[in-house]
């Protein structure tokens, strides 16, 4: 029998995708209000002083993890491992004082060395509730006010999900009355739950899914050597035993194609989409590397869906053509090996695609024409890392901990300041930067640094 815990009855009716925030520049979920890593905020510094922006405050002893914060209505939300527990916490946006902490489950210890310190998903805030996914697939809805758990589900037990080698790291997607998760199960690659009760609305296979179940985490082994050739099976130097089925490390997006909604996700074996009712719509395997280490969130812009991965693979753009049976043909427009995006994410602005190009061996920032895939420029002084954007500036956080301000340009690389985060841990800087309400948030495991980037 499926385990399901409804801990508290809820009131209120339906809501839009996100309830109105108290501040226009809030950051309610992974990659911001539109899941494109772009903030609508204005009035920020266009050039940084020599030593970077001023530190407003920092919070310490938060616990390990790469969970980037969500910021809504004066509160900051993220996740950590503290001692023997995986926890969700809230801080005051004003000074970093802890408001509450809620235990999600016993801590899960993954076997892979990188990012073993804690969870990587960002909470999703929707009105007076927030939604999280833990490292072993335990998902929950909590009260924003005090962290009280409203309901919980287990993606392994309830849907046959298998923990990926680096654990589950998805950030929940809210759309209308649904919350979307990716268990990666044989019969439930992707599922929709009622966001208020946690009850299952539907579960769906991956389009064109093979019969083999997801490979258990314990079967993954370190692997050295050349990558696999061929679309949908590229690879490089890394971990794994060949193509692994099931969930990867990406977070789903909701898109509208010719007025019809789709949920798009990047799983271990490929990019795919389902309808709001869970009907499989299309699949595109070319951007998936041979080890299933697909991390970056897909992009939908100007009629193209784009996804990319590292390990000698690259990225591909498809145009969606509806067929008579209601499914879609994903027609490849181009494929490029010049955007081997590892896990730092990508941004499209003014027809240009920005992102880190490179895998475990390092890499650098690249700028491509989004419609053609042609390389516009590459900059080795801007090392591979994670990106966000606000007020016509890109914020790059390299894996070594440098933070760089860049003016977007199709013509050339334009740096407008940089600084090195103090007191760096030995862990790769994988938590994405966040800009909200005039502040830049940089997390380094148990410490959250908050910088003032508002212009005078």
Convert the pLDDT of each residue in 88-129 to its tens digit.
999 999 999 999 999 999 998 877 666 678 999 999 999 999
pLDDT at residue number 24: 66
Mean pLDDT of all residues in 262-268: 98
b/e code 398-416 from CB counts within 10 Å (16+ = b): bbebbbbbbebeeeebebe
What's the mean pLDDT when you consider all of the chain? 89
This prediction has a pTM of: 0.89
d(CA 250, CA 238): 18
d(CA 311, CA 288): 10
Answer whether residue 58 shows pLDDT above 90: yes
End-to-end alpha-carbon separation of the chain, Å?
Answer: 59
Look at strands 75-82 and 149-154 and give their pairing: unpaired
Mean pLDDT of all residues in 271-285: 98
Convert the pLDDT of each residue in 159-178 to its tens digit.
999 999 999 999 999 999 99
φ and ψ at residue 157, rounded to 5 degrees: -70, -40
**Which domains are delineated in the chain?**
1-30+61-204 (2.40.128.630)
Cα 331 to Cα 261, 284, 409, distances in angstroms: 18, 9, 29
pLDDT at residue number 20: 38
What tokens does 213 get? 């179940």
Convert the pLDDT of each residue in 211-260 to its tens digit.
433 343 333 333 223 333 334 444 443 344 445 689 999 999 999 999 99
What tokens does 419 get? 């600084």
**Residue ranges of E strands in 267-361:** 271-274, 280-284, 299-301, 304-309, 314-322, 328-336, 346-349, 352-359
pLDDT at residue number 409: 99
Q: Are 316 and 335 a contacting pair, CB within 8 Å?
A: yes
For tokens 């212009």, the residue is 455
pLDDT at residue number 110: 74
Sheet holding 70-72, edge to edge: 70-72, 75-82, 85-92, 98-106
Answer whether residue 209 shows pLDDT above 90: no
Q: Are 74 and 94 a contacting pair, CB within 8 Å?
A: yes
Q: How many CA atoms lie within 13 A of 11 on its CB side?
A: 0
Residue 230, C-beta contacts closer than 8 angstroms, at least 6 positions apart = none
Q: Name the β-bridge partners of 141.
A: 131, 151
Answer whether residue 12 shows pLDDT above 70: no
Q: What is the DSSP letter of 27?
A: B
pLDDT at residue number 245: 82
d(CA 182, CA 40): 29
Cβ-in-10-Å burial (0-12, 13-18, 19+) of 277 comes to exposed
Cβ-in-10-Å burial (0-12, 13-18, 19+) of 366 comes to buried
Share of the chain above pLDDT 70, in %: 86
What tokens does 364 get? 């650098």
d(CA 172, CA 124): 6
- Indicate left, alpha or beta for 33 from its phi (over 0: left) and psi (-120 to 50: alpha): alpha
Any idea how long the chain is?
A: 456
Answer whether residue 44 shows pLDDT above 60: yes
φ and ψ at residue 195, rounded to 5 degrees: -65, -20
Q: How many CA atoms lie within 13 A of 380 on its CB side?
A: 0
d(CA 113, CA 100): 30
């Amino acid at each position: 029998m499926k385990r399901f815990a409804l801990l508290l009855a809820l009131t209120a009716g339906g809501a839009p995708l996100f309830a109105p925030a108290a501040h226009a520049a809030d950051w309610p979920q992974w990659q911001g209000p539109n899941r494109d890593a772009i903030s609508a905020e204005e009035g920020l510094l266009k050039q940084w002083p020599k030593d970077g922006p001023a530190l407003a405050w920092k919070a310490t002893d938060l616990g390990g993890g790469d969970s980037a914060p969500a910021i809504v209505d004066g509160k900051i939300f993220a996740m950590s491992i503290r001692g023997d527990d995986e926890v969700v916490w809230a801080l005051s946006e004003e000074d970093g004082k802890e408001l509450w902490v809620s235990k999600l489950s016993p801590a899960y210890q993954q076997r892979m060395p990188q990012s073993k310190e804690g969870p990587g998903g960002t909470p999703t805030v929707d009105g007076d509730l927030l939604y999280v996914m833990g490292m072993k697939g335990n998902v929950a809805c909590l009260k924003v006010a005090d962290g009280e758990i409203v309901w919980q589900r287990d993606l392994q037990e309830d849907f046959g999900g298998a923990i990926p080698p680096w654990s589950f790291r998805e950030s929940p997607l809210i759309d209308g009355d649904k919350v979307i998760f990716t268990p990666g199960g044989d019969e439930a690659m992707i599922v929709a739950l009622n966001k208020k009760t946690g009850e299952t609305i539907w579960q769906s296979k991956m389009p064109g899914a093979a019969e083999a179940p997801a490979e258990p985490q314990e079967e993954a082994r370190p692997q050295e050597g050349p990558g696999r050739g061929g679309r949908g099976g590229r690879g490089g130097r890394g971990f794994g035993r060949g193509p692994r089925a099931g969930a990867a490390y990406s977070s789903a997006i909701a898109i509208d194609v010719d007025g019809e909604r789709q949920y798009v996700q990047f799983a271990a074996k490929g990019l795919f989409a389902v309808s709001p009712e869970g009907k499989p719509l299309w699949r595109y395997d070319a951007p998936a590397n041979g080890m299933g280490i697909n991390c970056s969130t897909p992009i939908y812009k100007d009629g193209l869906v784009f996804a990319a991965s590292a390990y000698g693979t690259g990225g591909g753009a498809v145009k969606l053509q509806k067929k008579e049976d209601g499914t879609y043909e994903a027609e490849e427009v181009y494929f490029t090996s010049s955007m081997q995006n590892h896990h730092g994410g990508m941004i499209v602005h003014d027809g240009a695609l920005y992102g880190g190009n490179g895998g475990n061996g390092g890499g650098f920032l690249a700028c491509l024409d989004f419609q053609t895939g042609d390389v516009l420029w590459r900059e080795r002084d801007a090392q591979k890392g994670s990106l966000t954007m606000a007020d016509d500036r890109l914020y790059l956080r390299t894996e070594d901990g440098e933070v760089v301000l860049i003016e977007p340009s199709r013509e050339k690389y334009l740096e407008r300041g940089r600084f090195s985060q103090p007191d760096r841990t030995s862990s790769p800087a994988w938590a994405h930067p966040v800009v909200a309400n005039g502040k830049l948030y940089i997390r380094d495991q148990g410490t959250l640094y908050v910088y003032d980037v508002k212009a005078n």
